[in-house]
Amino acid sequence: MFQEILAEKPLSELSPDFENGNHQTDQDEPKPSPNGKRGNDLDGASWIKYSISIWSDIKKTAEEIALKHPAMFPAALPERLMQCFTTSQDQYILDPFAGIGSTILAAKKLGKIGIGIELSQEYAAKANARLNPQSLFSELEEITLTSVVHRDDSNNLLKYVQPESIDFGVTSPPYWDILNQKRSADYKEIRTYSGDKELDLGNIADYEKFIEALRPIFTNVFIALKPGKYFCVNVMDIRKKDRLYSYHEEIKNLMCSIGFKYDDLIIWDRRAEYNNMRPLGYPSVFRINRAHEFILIFLKPAHHC
């Protein structure tokens, strides 16, 4: 059954010291909801902080920047999402486009089991190297749970997970063929992602065909996810010359057509990381420098018809 989240307490009902920096409130100790279930293990102060619809405090670490993945999100992002949408009882986390393993790393850090799928042999190897507790978690107690990134086509994810076995998922799908284009906004050069021309979705030139190629993958995600559980998708809209592609809207429509409920979205403000911008279109056409991404929040209904 769907785990109902606790109703937020209005700011007016918090301790008067809250706005003065004293975050010790009567919400800090978890309290049972009327039906005895919790949506997560957050205290009241963290619940309020993370419920703000714009997240501006998440950015890559120096170690993550050095990995040079063309479109990664930092492990801090899926870690926070797991804190928002799972409890300690939720153990199995999925990322069908795992990249260098940020989601799987965050799952392992939180004592969960992460399962990732990654097409690129290079990035799958880097992801599994990051999951080595000897190198990355030397300051923590050794974690014995098994988390792994499988080098495979995301269409094959049901080879690695059972139907209705996943408690939560986060992913960032390919940004169409954007890596194959020379970018004017930040001067980044053309890059080949995986070297697999047939299976790499980034090699699909037609936008509609690219979106449809995501359908079987997210359908398998829907099958793998337990009813009443959440799945989050991180995307950014795409501009090609004079056309803006509302990628986040396409993903929303696709996921809803599969059977997911579109629950909400978060704006990820990345201005702190964008320090190499130029005046796009200057001086003839004013263009927007995109420095935000969307985190789309989807729910698999408890009773899907």
Cα 150 from Cα 266, distance rounded (Å)? 29
Q: Are residues 39 and 91 in the same domain?
A: no
Q: Are residues 174 and 275 in the same domain?
A: yes
Q: Are residues 202 and 230 in the same domain?
A: yes
State which H helix or E strand residue 268 sits in.
Answer: strand 261-269
Q: Has residue 60 been placed in a domain?
A: no
For residue 232, the model assigns a pLDDT of 98
Cα 171 from Cα 149, distance rounded (Å)? 13
Mean of pLDDT values over 129-137: 66
211's torsion region: left (phi>0), alpha (psi -120 to 50) or beta?
A: alpha
Q: Are residues 136 and 107 in the same domain?
A: yes
Q: Has residue 305 been placed in a domain?
A: no
Q: Has residue 59 been placed in a domain?
A: no
Q: In what order do the strands lie in the sheet with 148-151?
A: 54-55, 261-269, 292-299, 225-235, 166-171, 92-95, 113-118, 148-151
Q: Which domain holds residue 16?
A: 1-51
Q: Are residues 41 and 189 in the same domain?
A: no
For residue 197, the model assigns a pLDDT of 67
* CATH number of the domain that residue 249 is part of: 3.40.50.150
Q: Are residues 76 and 42 in the same domain?
A: no
pLDDT tens for each residue of 65-86: 777 656 678 999 999 999 999 9
Cα 305 from Cα 299, distance rounded (Å)? 14
pLDDT tens for each residue of 10-19: 434 444 343 4
Q: Are residues 22 and 102 in the same domain?
A: no
Q: Are residues 237 and 178 in the same domain?
A: yes
pLDDT tens for each residue of 42-68: 999 999 999 999 999 998 877 777 776
pLDDT tens for each residue of 88-108: 999 999 999 999 899 999 999
Indicate the number of domains in the chain: 2
Q: Has residue 63 been placed in a domain?
A: no
Q: Has residue 230 been placed in a domain?
A: yes
Q: Are residues 172 and 232 in the same domain?
A: yes
The residues near 148 (Cβ < 8 Å, ≥ 6 apart) are 104, 114, 115, 116, 128, 131
Task: Residue 148: name the closest of 139, 140, 138, 159 by CA.
Answer: 159
Q: Are residues 11 and 149 in the same domain?
A: no
Q: Are residues 228 and 281 in the same domain?
A: yes
pLDDT tens for each residue of 149-186: 999 999 999 999 999 999 999 999 998 766 555 555 55
pLDDT tens for each residue of 276-298: 778 888 889 998 888 899 999 99
Q: Has residue 129 been placed in a domain?
A: yes
For residue 139, the model assigns a pLDDT of 40
Q: Has residue 138 been placed in a domain?
A: yes
Q: Are residues 42 and 125 in the same domain?
A: no
Task: Residue 109: name the closest of 132, 129, 79 by CA.
Answer: 79
Q: Has residue 22 been placed in a domain?
A: yes
pLDDT at residue 143 is higher than 70: no
